[in-house]
Amino acid sequence: MSGYHLSHLDELEAEAIHIMREVVSEFENPVMLYSVGKDSSVMVRLARKAFAPGKLPFPLLHVDTGFKFEEMYAFRDKFVKDIDANLIVEGNEKAKADGANPFDLGTSQCCALLKTKGLLDALKEGKYDAAFGGARRDEEKSRAKERVYSFRDKFGHWDPKNQRPELWNLYNGQHNKGENIRVFPLSNWTELDIWLYIYKEQIPIVPMYFAKKRPMIVRDEQLIPVEGPMRLKEGEEPEMISCRFRTLGCSPCTGAIRSEADTLEKVIEEIMTARQSERITRIIDHDRDGSMELKKREGYF
């Protein structure tokens, strides 16, 4: 029987909107984590849709490590201004002042301080009881295990062995004071869904997702951008390579991929035929087996 049928993308959109409205109805002080990446761009668009013609009923929160790319900061400020959103920028200022960096501390320790601790402190300080995040289940195998409402105890910790059952679209948001949940409205989106949606909706994203010639060095099969506080090893010479970023994180820990895809159409074509996963360029994911799960249990997204 034909008619009255939503496309897959429309269905994903409706699901995300439903989740956001549910959270805003049942929580006192929600916040939306904004990482400047493509998934964040999509999530913010969905939030605007959920509450149109009204304004976003919550602020955006960027946990800034201080190691993001210049292009990201520029994009962030313009994006937020264009949509007239309330952006809060927080970070672990003490660790930053102490000069925390991945070169000396290693990526695990650096992440724990600048990202996880920065996030937990910001949530505590803002007394947020719900925080939206743009994580997707198809990104990583421990994320594939997570609920839409990811319950965190008062230390911000996740207990993957004891998650609440989550049936149909009935989300249980009951919580005690001091506890909070992370909410993942994009749980069921794949990387391709995100790109198709960006295309369909013409959502602005950081230009680093598109290929152009950039000064890069090649290290352990990864393309590392020459930017910010990066340290060249002996014999390393930056070269101009046509490349783009498949995910965006901190500049010392995010690699690029060789690519000629300089338009949305070409990027989508590239994603369709990719043989490598999205997060292969994220150095933090490969520290050791289960490293994402460990980070998450401690409070990371």
Partner 1 sequence: MGIKELLRENENKDLLRLLTCGSVDDGKSTMIGRLLHDSKQIYDDHLSTLEKDSKKVGSAGEAIDFSLLLDGLKAEREQGITIDVAYRYFSTPKRKFIIADCPGHAQYTRNMATGASTANLAVVLIDARHGVVEQTKRHSFIASLLDIGHIVVAINKMDLVDYSQEVYDKIRSEYEDFASRLEVRNIHFIPMSALMGDNIVEQSPNMPWFMGTPLLEYLQTVHIASDRNLIDMRFPVQYVLRQDMSFRGFCGTVASGILRPGSEVSVLPSGKRTKIKSIHTFEGMVDEAYPPMAVTVATEDEVDISRGDMLVAPNNSPRVSQSFDAAVVWMSEEPLDTERHYRIKHCSTHAQAEVTNVVYRFNVNTIGREEADSLTLNEIGRLRIDTSRPLAFDPYRRNRATGNFILIDPLSNATVAAGLILDRTSDEDQIQQPKVSTNIRQQVSPVSLEEREARLGQKSATIWLTGLPKSGKSTIANGLERHLFDQNRMVHVLDGENLRHGLSENLGFTALDRSEHIRRAASVAKMCNDLGLITVVALVSPYETDRCHARTIVGAEKFFEVHIDAPIEVCEERDTDGLYVAAKSGEIERFTGVTAPYEPPVNPDLKIDSKETPIDLAVQKIVDLLSGRGILG
Binding site for partner 1 (CB under 8 A): 1-4, 6-11, 13-15, 17-18, 21-22, 24-25, 48-54, 137-138, 140-145, 147, 160-161, 163-170, 172, 174-176, 187-188, 190, 196, 199-200, 264-265, 268-269, 272, 274-277, 280, 289-290, 293-294
Judged by beta carbon, residue 218 or residue 257, the one nearer partner 1 is 257
Q: How far is CA 18 from the centre of its chain?
A: 20
Evaluate whether 209 touches 262 at the Cβ level (below 8 Å). Answer: no
> Smallest gap, in angstroms, from Cβ of residue 70 to partner 1?
29
Here the tokens at position 152 are 């965190």
Handedness of CA 222, 224, 230, 231 (dihedral sign): positive
The CB-of-204 to partner 1 minimum distance in angstroms stands at 16
> How crowded is residue 162: how many other Cβ atoms within 10 Å of its Cβ?
7
Closest distance of CB 228 from partner 1, Å? 26
Question: What is the nearest approach in angstroms of partner 1 to the Cβ of residue 141?
Answer: 3
Angle between helices 191-201 and 38-51 (to 10 degrees): 60
Question: How far is 114 from 231, CA to CA, in rounded Å?
Answer: 19
> How do beta strands 130-132 and 60-63 pair?
unpaired
What minimum distance in Å lies between the beta carbon of 198 and partner 1?
A: 12
Q: CB 24 → partner 1: shortest distance, Å?
A: 6
* Distance of alpha carbon 232 from alpha carbon 138, whole angstroms: 34
Measured from the CB atom, the residue of 64 and 285 that comes closer to partner 1 is 285
251 within 8 A of 227, measured Cβ to Cβ: yes
Detail the DSSP E strand segments found in 196-246.
Answer: 212-219, 222-225, 239-244
Cβ closest to partner 1, residue 86 vs residue 174? 174
CA distance 120 to 105: 20
Nearer residue to partner 1 within complex by CB, 145 or 258: 145
DSSP string, 132-161: E----GGG-TTGGG--SEEEE-TT----GG
Q: Which is nearer to partner 1, 233 or 273 (CB)?
A: 273
- CB-nearer residue toward partner 1: 141 or 154: 141
Minimum distance between the CB of residue 292 and partner 1, rounded to whole angstroms?
A: 9
Nearer to partner 1, 22 or 64 (CB): 22
